[in-house]
Structures are given as structure tokens and as C-alpha cells.
Amino acid sequence: MFLLFSEGENQIRFLLAIFLSFIIVLVAYVLNWLTLDGAAASILFGIIALGLGGIFGASVVLGFFITSSLLSKDEIGTEGIPLNQFRRNGMQVWASGFWFAFWLIFWFSTNSTIFLVAAVTAMAFSTADTWGAEVGGKRVKGTTWLFGSFKKVNAGVDGGVSIVGTITTFAGALLIGAIYWFFYQQMPISHLIIIVSAGFIGSLVDSLIGTYLQGKVLHKRISAVFKRKSKLFDNNLTNWVSSGVSSILAIGLYLIIS
């Protein structure tokens, strides 16, 4: 629909988005960063990001995807065999990128900056959350506490936070904020503050859900309907909800500050 009813310049951009998305996703698939369904989801997501957001939208997504994939690279054992092979699947793609795509569509349709800020904040959360989990939970060893109760737990536990993880979480949000600021230097500094702070707060919400809800099994009567033990929140749903919360928080802060 966008391709058919948009103006000539936008039509060219959409066609370019389709071509580049296929090329970039093909490279990511060859590098073993994506599963087959993850590649299919990434193509659609890339078309939305570049087709609607232009170079800026593509830069935000690539900033998240490249850094997150490098941090989530395979762990190699002593004999050169991957111990933990990471490939992002379709559910993980949309858990990280759904709200960015959602708000970007609204921004493209209305040209209202509030939706652009919300979209970028969603991706700031996804980057912050991945950086914090990979660095604080896997790469750097340190004391980890369960968010909310502050009970010491092993690194990588759902809801666990650490000093290093918190710092890298903030750095991830700051990276996406910096990309926004690079393209929109004419915007008020308050936009950068909203993006970084709301993205960071979203990661705290993610930890809170991880502590109290993630992995918890639904009531046995409900589980019986599905003939298996159904979890209230898995990691993908936790990320999706937290990303949505961070973007809605950004909208609220935007309205208050503006």
C-alpha cells in the first residue's frame, strides 16, 4: 500500500529498502546471525525501517543489530566447537523491533515528532537490554543481585542486575540516542534525555518482570487446557512488553516536557 500510494521519491526509497533488506539479511544469515524465520522477519522489518525511516531508520536498526549480534556471538569451547550458538529467530526479531516499526508507521503517516521519539526509545531499550544482558550477564563476571529483592544470584538469572550490566545498559541506550542526535541535531536536547532515560528505565522494567513474572508457570487449570505447563512470561514477551512500556513512557515524558 505504501509503495502504491506514496509519492515518487518515497516509492524509490521503498524499492531500495526491499533490495537492501534482502542483501543485508542474506549477509546476516550467512554469518549465522539469523535463523530462516529470523531472516524472513528481518527482511520485513528492514523494509519498514528503511522504507519509512530512510537512512536514519536503517542506522538505528543497524546500530542495534550489529552491536547486539557481535556481543551475542557464539561461545567457542577449547576444541573450537561452539558451546552456545546464537542465532536470532523471528520471535526475537519482533520482540526487539515491533514497537520501533509500530511507532515509525505513525510517524511516517503524521510527521509528528512524538512518534519518532517513541520509536527510537523502543530501539534504545532493545539495545540497552541486550548490551546489559550480554556484558553484565555473560562477558564480565561480577556480583549480581535479583532486582527488587537484591538477593545475590548467579549471573544471567532472569531479573539479575549488576554494576557492570547497569553501566553497559545505559551505554546501549546512549548509543541509540547518539544516532538520533547525529541525524536530528536541530531537535531539543530534551529529546535525547527522553530517549536515553526511558530506554534505560525500560530495562529496569524488564528486570522487574524477570524477577517476579518471567518463567512462572500459569495456574495448573489453565496449563491443563494447553496440555502443557504454559509460562506467564517468556523472554520474548518480557522484552516486547518492556519495549512497549519504554516507548509509552517516552510519549508521556514528551508531552510533559513539551
Q: What is the mean pLDDT of residues 14-22?
A: 88
Is residue 91's pLDDT more than 80? yes
CB 205 within 8 A of CB 189: no
Greatest extent of the chain over all pairs of C-alpha atoms, in Å: 58
C-alpha grid cell, residue 105: 508507521
Q: Is 0.85 surpassed by the pTM of this model?
A: no
Mean pLDDT over all residues of the chain?
82
229 — pLDDT class (breaks 50, 70, 90): low
C-alpha grid cell, residue 37: 524465520
Coil, strand or helix: which one is 3? helix
For the ranges 51-65, 174-188, 231-245, the lowest mean pLDDT is seen at: 231-245
Q: What is the mean pLDDT of residues 124-151?
A: 76
Distances from the Cα of 71 to the Cα of 65, 78, 236, 244, angstroms: 10, 19, 18, 23
Q: Where are the domains of the chain?
A: 2-257
For the ranges 37-46, 91-100, 134-143, the lowest mean pLDDT is seen at: 134-143
Partners of 88 in beta bridges: 34
Please give the share of the chain, as a percent, with pLDDT higher than 90.
46
Count of other CB atoms within 10 angstroms of residue 246: 31
Is residue 232's pLDDT more than 70? no
End-to-end CA distance of the chain: 33
Of residues 17 and 198, which shows the higher confidence score? Answer: 198
Side chain identity at 37, as an amino acid letter? Answer: D
Q: Can you give the pLDDT at residue 123?
A: 96
pLDDT tens readout for residues 163-217: 888 899 999 999 999 999 999 989 999 999 999 999 999 998 988 887 777 666 5
Is residue 51's pLDDT more than 50? yes
**253 closest CA partner among 168, 181, 184, 193:** 193
Q: Can you give the pLDDT at residue 112?
A: 95
User: CA–CA separation, 28 vs 174, rounded Å?
Assistant: 24
Distances from the Cα of 238 to the Cα of 38, 58, 81, 95, angstroms: 18, 25, 31, 8
3-state secondary structure 85-124: CCCECHHHHHHHHHHHHHHHHHHHHHCCHHHHHHHHHHHH
